[in-house]
A and B are shown apart, each in its own frame.
Chain A
Amino acid sequence: MIELRGVSKIFGQRWAVRDLDLTVPRGEIFGLLGHNGAGKSTSIGMMLGQVWPTAGELRICGHDITRDRAKALHRVGAIFETPVFYDYLSGWKNLEILSHYTAPTPAERIKKIVEWVGLTGRENDKVSKYSHGMRTRLALAQALLPDPELLILDEPSDGLDPEGIHEMRLTIQRLQKELGLTILLSSHLLNEVEQLCTRIAVVNQGRKVFEGTLAEAKQTKQWVRLHVGDFAKATASFQADKLITDTRNGALVALADGVKTDALVRRLVALDIPVFAISPEEETLESFYLNLMQDSRAAKPSTPA
C-alpha cells in the first residue's frame, strides 16, 4: 500500500528525511516510531503529497504520489495530531465540506460514518462545542468518508486522556478487523504501538534505524538478568570470552549468538563469583527503542553535502 524508495527531504541545510525505504503491506497496522523531529511527520507529509521530496520515489496505493496525486489519494484517509475543523460550522457541515474534496458523498454515507464513530445526536452541534475526544472522533469520521483502503494516523492519541487513548486503540483495532484497512500509525506512545502494530519502523534524525516485525524487534538481543556477587568482574570476564555483547543497568547482559545461560553459570562458578539468580529477560518495545536511540545518539545532526 505504501512504498518509499530512497526518499529524502532537505529543509534549508537540514536533512529532515534521509534515504528512507519503507514498505507497508496491505492489511497491516504498521507503526512508525521516532521521537519529536525524527522525520515522521515529514515522511507522512510526503506520503500525502503535502511535502515535496528532494529525492526518491513514493508510491501510495500503487500510484506515484508526486505524478498521480488524485489517484494515489482517492481511497486514503488521514488524521493529524491535533484535529482541527471549521469551529463555527456543525460537525455534519464539516464532514459535508471535506467530503467534497474527494467525491460527492450521499447524506446516507455521512450518517453511517457518524454512527460508526459514535457522534450520532451531536453531529448538528457546532464543532466549537465539541470536546477533544469528540473532535478526534470527527477527525476519524472525515478520514473514513472516502471509503479508504489506507488510513494514515499521525499521532492520533495526542492530547487524549487515558480513557480516550484506550478508546482510540479499540477503534483502530476495529478499523482493521471490521473494515480490513491498512493503517500507518505514527506515534511515540510505545505502549500503544506495541499493542496495535504487527510491523514497525523506527526513524531517528531522518534515517530509518530499524524495520521489522514486533517479534524481530524484541529478539534483536537475548537479555539475561544476573544477580551475582560482583557484576563488574563477571561481565569483564564474559566479554573477554565473547560470551556477551552488551550490558545494561548493572544487572542485564546480552548473550552472544549461540551462547546459552549455562555457559555463563559455568564461568561464574569457575571465577568463584556467588550466583543468586539468573533468568532470561524479555525485551520490551520500550527497552528496544531506548537502546536503539542510545546507539545512534553519538551520531551528530546531519547536513546536506
Chain B
Amino acid sequence: MFFLQLRSELAKLFGKKRTYIGFGVFLLAQNVMLLAFRYSNWSKGTAHLLDSNGYQASDFISALTVAVLMLIPQILLLMPLYVMLVGGDLVAKEAEDGTLRMILSRPISRFRLLLTKWLTGVIFAAILVVSLGAMALFFARCWFEWKGMFIFIPVPGGQTIFSVLDASEGLRLYALAHVVLAINACTMLSLAFMFSCFNMKPAAATILALSFLMLSVVMEGMPFFADWKEFAITHHFRAWILVFSKPMQMAQIAESLSVLVAVNVTAFVIGATHFHMRDIKS
C-alpha cells in the first residue's frame, strides 16, 4: 500500500507541467553558459592560472572543468528556487485546490500522507540534481574535449579549493559531489515542505524557505557571526566543494552532511507535527 501511495504521489508530481520548468531552465542556462565559455576570454584567464602553477593549460580546459564551473551559478541561484518551488507546492497547493480535503476523507493517516509526499519531493530533488549534473557534462562534452579536471573555487572564509585531477578521478569526484548536492537539494526541499505544512499559500511557503536561505547567507557573511558560521545552513551546503579538496576533508564533509540530515529530519518533524494538529477546511 505504501508503495502504491508513493507511486500515486509521483504520478501527481510528474504529471504536472510546472514540475519540468526547472529542468527546462537548467537546460537553457547551461547552453547559454557554454556559449559564453567557448566564445569569451574566460579560457584565457583559466589557462593563465594553470600555467602560473606549472600545469599545461591545454590538458585541463576540458568538459569536466567546464561542467563544474557551470554548476556553481546554477546551484547558487536556480536549484534552490526550483526545488523550493516544488517543496512549497507539495502540501499547500493541495490544501489550496481542495484536493487535500478529498484525500483526508479517506482512511490514510496524516503522517503517512506527509511521508509519501516528502519522499516524492526527495525523489524529485535527487532526479533534478542527477539530471543537472548529467546534462552539464553532456553539453560540456559537446563543446570541450574529455581531458583532466581543474578546480579552482574560492570558498567564503579564506579557504580556496585548488585541485588538478586526471579525467577518471575527476569523474569519480564529480559523481560524489552530486551525491552531496542531492542532500543539499533535499534539505532545501524539506524547508519549503515544512512551511507548506502550515496554513499558507504555496508561494508563501516557497518565499519563506528562500528567505530562510537568504538570511543564512547574509548572517554567514557578517564578520560578527564568523564564530558561529557552523550554525548557518548555507555553510554546510558547501560540503560538495570540499569533495574536490586534496586531501579530501572527510571529517568536515561528514559533519556538514550530519547537520543537513538533521535539518531534514527536524523540518519534517515540525511540518508533520503542525499538519497533524491543524484543521483542514475548505
Contacts and interface: CB of A to CB of B under 8 A. Distances in A.
A261 interface: no
Interface in B204-248: none
Contact of B107 (A11, A74, A142, A152): A74
- Chain A interface main SS type: loop
Nearest to A11: B279
B244 to A, nearest CB: 41
A45 interface: yes
A85 B11 CA distance: 14
B40 interface: no
Interface residues of B, number: 28
Contacts of A101: 5, 8, 103, 106-108, 113
A88 B17 contact: yes
Contact of A73 (B11, B16, B106, B279): B106
B281 A42 contact: yes
A50 B98 CA distance: 12
Interface string B108-119: 110001000000
A84 B279 contact: no
Contacts, number: 90
The contact size tier of chain A is: 35 or more
Contact of A50 (B4, B15, B104, B108): B104
B251 interface: no
A84 B107 contact: no
Nearest to B280: A50
B15 A86 contact: yes
B279 A88 contact: no
Contacts of A89: 11-12, 15
B97 A84 contact: yes
Best-surrounded residue of B17, B279, B281 (most CB of chain A within 10 A): B279
Interface of B: 1, 4-5, 7-8, 11-12, 15-17, 97-99, 101-109, 113, 277, 279-282
Interface of A: 11, 41-42, 45, 48-52, 69-74, 76-78, 80-82, 84-86, 88-89, 93, 96-98, 100-104, 142, 146, 152
